């Protein structure tokens, strides 16, 4: 499996506040998930957390990571969406919700869906 998948974690920063990869994908790219996590936390100063299959619904579990400063800046710009939907404004709590809760692009959660897309740096969601 190509290492380009690893960019979802390695490109985290101001324009892409968070990312995640299934544990199996990290391994198939030739990386040790624990070493990737250590690199993200110690060298890049990012928040990183493993979620089990039961927690996030990803068969092998997943590693989520975020630039908390950039993420919380995005969340503060969109606090009205978070308040309306009952989602947290703290970065670590937001990451946990993204991992644990499925959000769809419907009339009730469409704004939240777009905010999550922007947090992942998805080019389909360009407004901040």
Output the average pLDDT for the chain.
Answer: 93
Q: Which residue in 24, 96, 28, 21 sits closest to 60, CA to CA? A: 24
Does this model's pTM top 0.85? My answer is yes
The stretch 44-71 carries a mean pLDDT of: 96
Q: What is the pLDDT of residue 2?
A: 54
Is 127 within the bounds of a domain?
no
- Quote the number of domains for the chain: 1
| Residue 97 vs residues 34, 43, 69, 92, 103: alpha-carbon distances, Å | 22, 25, 17, 9, 10
Is 69 within the bounds of a domain?
yes
Contact 3, 30 (CB under 8 A): yes
Looking at the predicted structure, is the pLDDT value of residue 128 above 70? Answer: no
Is 126 within the bounds of a domain?
no
Is 80 within the bounds of a domain?
yes
Note down the domain range covering 35.
Answer: 3-119
At 93-112, the pLDDT tens digits run 999 999 999 998 876 778 99
User: Which region, left, alpha or beta, applies to residue 5 given φ > 0 means left and ψ of -120 to 50 means alpha?
Assistant: alpha
Compute the C-alpha angle 29/34/40, nearest 5°.
85
Is 124 within the bounds of a domain?
no
């Amino acid at each position: 499996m190509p290492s380009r998948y690893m960019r979802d974690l390695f490109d985290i920063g101001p324009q892409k506040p968070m990312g995640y990869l299934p544990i199996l994908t990290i391994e198939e790219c030739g990386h040790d998930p624990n070493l990737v996590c250590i690199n993200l936390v110690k060298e890049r100063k990012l928040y990183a957390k493993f979620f089990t299959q039961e927690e996030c619904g990803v068969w092998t579990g997943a590693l989520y990571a975020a630039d908390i400063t950039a993420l919380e800046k995005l969340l503060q710009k969109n606090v009205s969406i978070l308040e309306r939907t009952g989602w947290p404004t703290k970065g670590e709590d937001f990451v946990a919700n993204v991992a644990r809760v499925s959000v769809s692009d419907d009339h009730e959660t469409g704004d939240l869906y777009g905010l999550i897309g922007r947090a992942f740096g998805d080019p389909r969601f360009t407004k901040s």
